[in-house]
C-alpha cells in the first residue's frame, strides 16, 4: 500500500497548499482577484479533506497498526497526519459555515494565522512521510534545531495532557459564552 499512499498524498498536499495561498491572498486583499479565488476555497478544502482522508486510510494499511504504533517515526507521522486532517477539516467547516464573514475585521487575520499553522502541520507530515520512505529532508534538521528530534516520539507528559483536557473544555465554553453576549 505504500506506493498508493505516496501517490494519494500528493492531492491533499497540493489542495491544502493552494488553499493556504488563497487564504493568504484573501486575507491581504479585498480586490476582485482575491474575492474570485476565495470562491474556490470551499471546494479546495472539501476536496483536500476527502482526498486527505483517502490518503490517511491507505496510509493506515501500509503496516499493521501494531507495527506502526511501535515505530517512533511512524508514530510521529500518524500523529501529525491525524492532526493535519482534522485541522484542515476545521478550516473547511469554518469557511463553509461562516461564509465570507470570515474576511471581516480581525477574523481575516485569525484565518491567516490558522492557515499558517496548517501549512506547518502539512510540512511536518510530509517530511515525516519522506523519512519513512527513506527520503529525509533538511526540514528534520530545522525541527531538531527547534527542539524536536523526529526520531523521538512526540508525546506529552501527563500534566500537560491534563492541561490539554482543561483547554479542550474551556474553548467551547468560551464560544458558548461569547455567543450569548452582546456584540
Residue whose cell numbers read 468560551: 174
Region binding another protein by CB under 8 A among candidate stretches 17-25, 26-34, 48-56, 149-157: 149-157
174 belongs to the binding site for another protein (CB under 8 A): yes
CA distances (Å), 5 to each of 45, 61, 144, in order? Answer: 19, 9, 26
CA distances (Å), 10 to each of 7, 52, 75, 101, 123, in order? Answer: 6, 9, 21, 31, 12
Minimum separation from the CB atom of position 98 to another protein (A) = 5
Residue 133 phi, psi (nearest 5): -90, 10
Q: 116-135 mask for another protein (x: CB under 8 A)? A: -x--------------x-x-
Region binding another protein by CB under 8 A among candidate stretches 4-12, 22-30, 38-46, 151-159: 151-159
Return the residue of 34, 53, 90, 112 that touches another protein, per CB under 8 A: 90
- Give the C-alpha separation, 124 to 84, whole Å: 9
Region binding another protein by CB under 8 A among candidate stretches 12-20, 34-42, 45-53, 65-73: 65-73
How far apart, in Å, do the first and last CA atoms of the chain sit? 52
Strand blocks (E) in the chain = none
The residue ranges that bind another protein (CB under 8 A) are: 63-64, 66-72, 74-75, 78-79, 82-83, 86-87, 90, 93-94, 97-99, 101-102, 104-107, 110, 113, 117, 132, 134, 146-149, 151-161, 163-165, 167-179, 181-183
Amino acid at each position: 500500500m505504500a506506493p498508493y499512499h505516496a501517490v494519494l498524498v500528493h492531492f491533499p498536499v497540493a489542495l491544502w497548499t493552494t488553499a493556504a495561498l488563497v487564504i493568504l491572498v484573501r486575507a491581504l486583499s479585498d480586490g476582485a482577484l482575491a474575492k474570485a479565488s476565495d470562491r474556490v476555497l470551499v471546494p479546495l478544502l472539501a476536496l483536500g479533506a476527502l482526498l486527505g482522508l483517502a490518503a490517511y486510510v491507505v496510509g493506515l494499511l501500509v503496516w499493521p497498526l501494531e507495527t506502526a504504533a511501535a515505530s517512533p517515526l511512524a508514530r510521529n507521522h500518524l500523529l501529525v497526519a491525524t492532526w493535519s486532517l482534522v485541522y484542515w477539516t476545521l478550516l473547511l467547516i469554518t469557511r463553509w459555515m461562516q461564509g465570507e464573514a470570515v474576511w471581516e475585521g480581525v477574523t481575516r487575520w485569525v484565518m491567516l494565522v490558522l492557515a499558517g499553522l496548517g501549512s506547518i502541520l502539512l510540512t511536518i507530515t510530509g517530511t515525516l512521510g519522506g523519512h519513512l520512505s527513506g527520503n529525509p529532508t533538511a526540514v528534520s534538521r530545522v525541527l531538531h534545531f527547534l527542539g524536536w528530534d523526529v526520531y523521538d516520539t512526540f508525546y506529552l507528559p501527563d500534566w500537560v495532557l491534563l492541561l490539554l483536557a482543561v483547554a479542550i473544555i474551556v474553548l467551547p465554553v468560551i464560544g458558548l459564552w461569547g455567543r450569548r453576549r452582546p456584540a
